[in-house]
Amino acid sequence: MAAALVLRTWSRAAGQLICVRYFQTCGNVHVLKPKYVCFFGYPPFKYSHPYQWLKTTAALQGQIVQFKLSDIGEGIREVTVKEWYVKEGDTVSQFDSICEVQSDKASVTITSRYDGVIKKLYYNLDDTAYVGKPLVDIETEALKDSEEDVVETPAVSHDEHTHQEIKGQKTLATPAVRRLAMENNIKLSEVIGSGKDGRILKEDILNYLEKQTGAILPPSPKAEIMPPPPKPKDRTIPIPISKPPVFIGKDRTEPVKGFHKAMVKTMSAALKIPHFGYCDEVDLTELVKLREELKPIAFARGIKLSFMPFFLKAASLGLLQFPILNASVDENCQNITYKASHNIGIAMDTEQGLIVPNVKNVQIRSIFEIATELNRLQKLGSAGQLSTNDLIGGTFTLSNIGSIGGTYAKPVILPPEVAIGALGTIKALPRFNEKGEVCKAQIMNVEKGERKPVLLNVYYAPRTMLNSVCLSLHNSTSQKQLKVATRFSDISPDRPGHL
């Protein structure tokens, strides 16, 4: 007896599965509108009439609609497709985001006007889309009379678990609403429709279910109208416009005075001078070694030894060979005065502004004496306590832009002087030695500015002077010159090789 019962149950389930597979293969079961569910323990698909089957199938197949790009305003006729939010085969509802397009004025998100399935995308990313042309194809759900409603005809069921509708009564509802009612075993005849002509809406099903069970049914996955999906995470969210910050600061005016006023006046006059510039590089590899040897000696005597004392002394040696560069000219450029002393100025950037004190008589000073005087001027300049004597009487000027990391400069002549030099930073660069081998060299760029009308041999003097400076710097590495450089006396102008 038990075996017969098991066999009967298995046969019934197998037959129903065959029914389902048949409809899936031949009729595409999801486009049919079954009257009852076909599953284990339930009867197979039933229709009141074959005509009803055909009518339902035609109604649910829908139609293909070309969704065209509408006018987005401001006379824009074409846009660029920047991002697709859907792909072919995706299901969309009204107001779902389709894509984002960008014109020459703004970015706009295009939303769907239909419920259906995306069948075709007409553009790729960064393609140009035109207003009035198709954007996508959408296979819509029921739109016409045959697609709007399905009128149930009376049917008699022999299963005790199904519901019967009142004979002869027309129940108006969309396929989505009928599916929702079927999933929850609700008879449409028991639901009062609130739509036009008593049409049953989705809200009517939800209200009916809430009254019966006391619970709110979660939204159907196939809702008729859905809000736009959340925007992709990688999309840039526009920053909300806020009020600009209010700045309450006020301009202030201060008089130009002191060193700053004098320098402004001097530099303004310097712009009237026709300049000639010349640039070259100097190999300071040996000088770098010499300074490292002299630093302990200078430190023992309380002297801070930088490269600047060497540059001042080398410039003085060049001025001995070319006294025209250590001269001054009157305002009308009628007379040239050759200066006997080498009072070399050093441009300093202080809190009071740019100042140019000078080291007097560089031609008779040793390296350590120059370093001592230079330390004094730098200390007084930082404190704003330089005397008038420290600032007047200059005959030639050096500007050390290397101290601020500069490599090249265009120095401006300080009148009534006729020349100025600028020194760049020292850099380790590859160079060839005398044997043609690549070696590490300490290179510094040197720029020189001259007053052109005064210097008749202007194209010859700068190069020769720089060669003289380089030769002086290179010769300073000999042991004899090293001993002389550390002395504080016995230095005379007729011994130009002494540092």
Please check the confidence at residue 73 and state whether its pLDDT lies above 90. Answer: no
CA distance 367 to 94: 89
Q: Which residue has the higher pLDDT, 69 or 162?
A: 69
Region 269-277 average pLDDT: 74
Percent helix, percent strand, percent coil in the chain, to nearest 5? 35, 20, 45
**CB-side exposure of 56: number of CA atoms within 13 Å?**
26
Q: What is the pLDDT of residue 438?
A: 94
In 170-307, where does DSSP find H-type helix? 175-183, 202-213, 258-270, 285-300
Helix (H) or strand (E) run with residue 283 in it? strand 275-283
pLDDT-derived band at 312, boundaries 50, 70, 90: very high
Q: What is the pLDDT of residues 76-128, one digit of tens each?
A: 788 889 899 999 999 988 888 899 888 766 678 888 888 889 999 999 998 98
The fraction of the chain above a pLDDT of 70, given in percent, is 65
Whole-angstrom CA distances from 317 to 311, 312, 396 are 10, 9, 12
SS3 readout for 324-357: HHHEEECCCCCCEEECCCCCEEECEEECCEEECC
pLDDT-derived band at 350, boundaries 50, 70, 90: confident
Please report the domains of the chain, with CATH numbers, ordered by start residue.
27-61 (no CATH), 64-140 (2.40.50.100), 168-228 (4.10.320.10), 258-485 (3.30.559.10)
Please check the confidence at residue 138 and state whether its pLDDT lies above 70. Answer: yes
CA distance 349 to 385: 14
Identify which of 23-32, 93-102, 131-140 has the greatest average pLDDT. Answer: 131-140
Q: Which residues pair with 375 in a beta bridge?
A: none
3-state secondary structure of 16: helix
SS3 readout for 127-149: CEEECCCEEEEEEECCCCHHHHC
Region 187-199 average pLDDT: 80
Region 422-432 average pLDDT: 89
Instruction: Please say whether the beta carbons of 76 and 103 come within 8 A.
Output: yes
Q: What is the pLDDT of residue 259?
A: 62
Core vs surface per residue 197-220: b (16+ CB within 10 A) or e: eebbbbebbbbbbeeeeeeebeeb
Start-to-end Cα distance in the chain: 128
Instruction: Please say whether the beta carbons of 48 and 154 come within 8 A.
Output: yes
Residues contacting 317, CB < 8 A, separation 6+ = 468, 469, 472, 496, 497
